[in-house]
Amino acid sequence: MNFDEIITLDKADPLAKKRLEFDLPANTIYLDGNSLGALPKSVKSRVAEVVSQQWGNDLIKSWNSHSWIDLPIKVGEKIAPLIGAAPGQVMCCDSISVNLFKLLCSALTLNSERTVVLSTKDNFPTDLYMVQGLSDLLGPDLCQLQMVEEQDIQQHLTESVAVLLLTQVNFRSGRLLDMAKLTRLAHEKGILVIWDLAHSAGALPVELDTCEADFAVGCGYKYLNGGPGSPAFLYVAKRHQQEIKQPLSGWMGHAKPFAFDAKYTAAPNINQFQCGTPSVISMSALDAALDVWQDVDMLQIRHKSAGLADVFIELIQMNNCLTDLILISPNVAQQRGSQLAFSHDAAFAICQALIQKGVIADFRAPNILRFGFTPLYTSFEDIWLAVTILVNIVESEQYKESRFNITLKVT
Ligand SMILES: *Cc1c(COP(=O)(O)O)cnc(C)c1O
C-alpha cells in the first residue's frame, strides 16, 4: 500500500463529498467521532436560529409555532431508519443511562416471574451501574445482575433470565455481537432483549425490527453528531407498547399533559417514554445533525468503515509496529464495529503525544488506544497521515517525555 493507492481510494469514495457538510478544525485528524461526533455545518445555523429567533423573539409561542413539543418524536423518527425501525417506536429523550432505567423496569415487569438481568463483564459500565442501582432499589427478589464473558453469553441464556442487556459493539474492543442470533436464542428461552446501540447507530446498518429486538437505547453525540450532551434515544417494539409501563411517570409521558389531571395516565404509545420537558436547544442540534444522513446509504457507510480500518491495520503492519501495538479488536472487519483498539503499556502517553501532533484518538483505561472511523468525514488520506504520525511516536519513543504523562480528568 503506497500513497498513490490511498489517493485512489479517496477518489473512488462515494461518501467523500459528505466531509464538506462538516466543520472540521484545520490541521487535525479526528479519529474520535465514536466518542464525540464532529460538528455538522447545519447545526451551527440551526442552533443560532433556535436561540435568537425561536427563544429570543418568539418565546413561549415556539412550543407550538416551532413545534418544540414534537421534537422528541420528530427526532426519534429521523433516527428510526438508521436503526431499522418502522415508525412509532423510537423516541429521543434523556440519556442512555436514564433510558436504560425505564426499559429495565419495563422489561422486568413484563417478565415478572424472573429476576436475572444478564449482561457482560466488559459492557460499558453505566449499563451495569444502572442494573446495580435498580437491584438496590427493588431488592434481590426482583432484580439481580449476572455478568458473564462475551463469548459465554449463549450458554447462560436460561429460564431464570428475565432480561438480556447487551451492547452490540463493545466500547473497548469494537467487537460486534450477532444481534439476530442472540435475540433469537434469547427469545427461545423467553428472555427479553435490550440492545445498547451507542457504537452502532450511524456506524453500521442496524435491523431492530428484522431481528425482532424488544428494546434498544442509543446515543446522540457519538456517530449521530448531535453535540456534547446531546439527548439519547430509545426504541420499544410496537408489540410491547400496550402492555408496558415505565416508572419515570413524568408529565410529558402522560396521555394528556396539558389536561393537568392529578392522576397519571400513561400515553398509549411510545410517548409514554418521555419524562420531563425536552432540552430544546440540544435536541434541535441533533435534529439538524440528522439531516446529514438523508441521502446516505448505510451499506456504503459500512463498506467505507471497514476499508478505513483495514487500511489502518495494513499500514501499521507494513511499518512493523504490530509487535508494540497489539490489536485487540477482531482482525476481520465483519466482526467489528467502526473502531480499532490496540493495547500498549504506554497507551495513555502515546495518546497524548498523538493529540499534541494533531491526531485525536482516545485512551481507555488501563492500556487501550482507540481509533474511531467515521466514514462521513474521515478520508483514507487521514488514515495514512495518522498512522505515519503514530508509527513515528512509537518508534522514536517520544511518548516517554514527561509532558505526555500528566494525568487528566476526562480521557
Ligand atoms: C457512550 C455510551 C453510553 C453513554 O451513556 P449516557 O448515559 O448517555 O452518558 C452508554 N452505553 C454505551 C455502550 C456507551 O458507549
What is the domain-level CATH number for residue 13?
3.90.1150.10
185 confidence band (pLDDT: 50, 70, 90):
very high
Q: Flag whether 38 is in a domain.
A: no
pLDDT at 357: 97
Range of the domain at 247: 47-293
Peptide bond into 366 cis (omega under 30): yes
Same domain, 162 and 225: yes
Q: Flag whether 41 is in a domain.
A: no
Q: How does pLDDT run across 362-383, given as a tens digit for each residue? A: 999 899 999 999 999 999 999 9
Peptide bond into 278 cis (omega under 30): no
- Closest ligand 1 atom to Cα of 219: 8
Same domain, 281 and 248: yes
pLDDT at 262: 98
Task: Please name the helix (run of DSSP H) or strand (run of DSSP E) that holds residue 72, with its range, or none.
Answer: helix 71-79
The CB of 171 under 6 Å from ligand 1? The reply is yes
349 confidence band (pLDDT: 50, 70, 90):
very high
| pLDDT over 90 percentage in the chain | 97
d(CA 199, CA 208): 15
| pLDDT over 70 percentage in the chain | 100
Output the nine-digit C-alpha cell for 157.
441464556
pLDDT at 147: 98
Mean pLDDT of the chain: 97
pLDDT at 282: 98
The CB of 196 under 6 Å from ligand 1? The reply is yes
CB atoms within 10 A of CB 320: 10
The CB of 124 under 6 Å from ligand 1? The reply is yes
Same domain, 201 and 76: yes
Span 288-295, average pLDDT = 98
0.85 surpassed by pTM: yes
Tell whether the model's pLDDT for residue 132 goes beyond 80: yes
Same domain, 140 and 261: yes
pLDDT at 249: 97
pLDDT at 148: 98
pLDDT at 321: 75
8-state DSSP, 347: H
The CA 195 to ligand 1 mean position distance, Å, reads 12
Same domain, 57 and 114: yes
409 confidence band (pLDDT: 50, 70, 90):
confident
Q: Flag whether 36 is in a domain.
A: no
Tell whether the model's pLDDT for residue 123 goes beyond 80: yes
Span 393-411, average pLDDT = 90
pLDDT at 205: 98
Task: Specify burial of residue 98 (Cβ count, 10 A radius: 0-12, 13-18, 19+).
Answer: middle
8-state DSSP, 108: H
pLDDT at 35: 97
8-state DSSP, 343: E
The CA 321 to ligand 1 mean position distance, Å, reads 31
Instruction: Look up cell 488520506; give the residue.
Output: 381
Query: Which residue, of 240, 271, 293, is where some domain finishes?
Result: 293
Q: Flag whether 35 is in a domain.
A: no
410 confidence band (pLDDT: 50, 70, 90):
confident
Strands (E), 90-143: 90-92, 116-120
What's the CATH number where 175 sits? Answer: 3.40.640.10
Q: How does pLDDT run across 321-344, given as a tens digit for each residue? A: 778 899 999 999 999 999 999 999
Sheet holding 161-167, edge to edge: 90-92, 233-236, 215-218, 192-196, 161-167, 116-120, 144-148
Of 51, 12, 91, 44, the residue nearest 275 (C-alpha): 91
Strands 39-40 and 90-92: unpaired
Residue to substitute in 171, 194, 206, 411 for testing ligand 1 pocket (most ligand atoms within 8 angstroms of CB): 171
The CA 203 to ligand 1 mean position distance, Å, reads 15
Query: Which residue, of 277, 293, 309, is where some domain finishes?
Result: 293
Same domain, 194 and 319: no
pLDDT at 38: 98
105 confidence band (pLDDT: 50, 70, 90):
very high
The CB of 96 under 6 Å from ligand 1? The reply is yes
pLDDT at 407: 82
Label each residue of 163-175 as H, E or C. Answer: EEEEECECCCCCE
Q: Which of 222, 302, 336, 357 is catalytic?
A: 222
Identify whether 181 is a catalytic site residue: no
Strands (E), 312-356: 326-327, 339-343
Residue to substitute in 219, 223, 411 for testing ligand 1 pocket (most ligand atoms within 8 angstroms of CB): 219
8-state DSSP, 229: T
- By three-state DSSP, how is residue 55 classified? helix
pLDDT at 52: 98
Query: How many structural domains are present in the chain?
Result: 2
Q: How does pLDDT run across 303-326, given as a tens digit for each residue? A: 999 999 999 999 999 988 778 899
Same domain, 218 and 152: yes
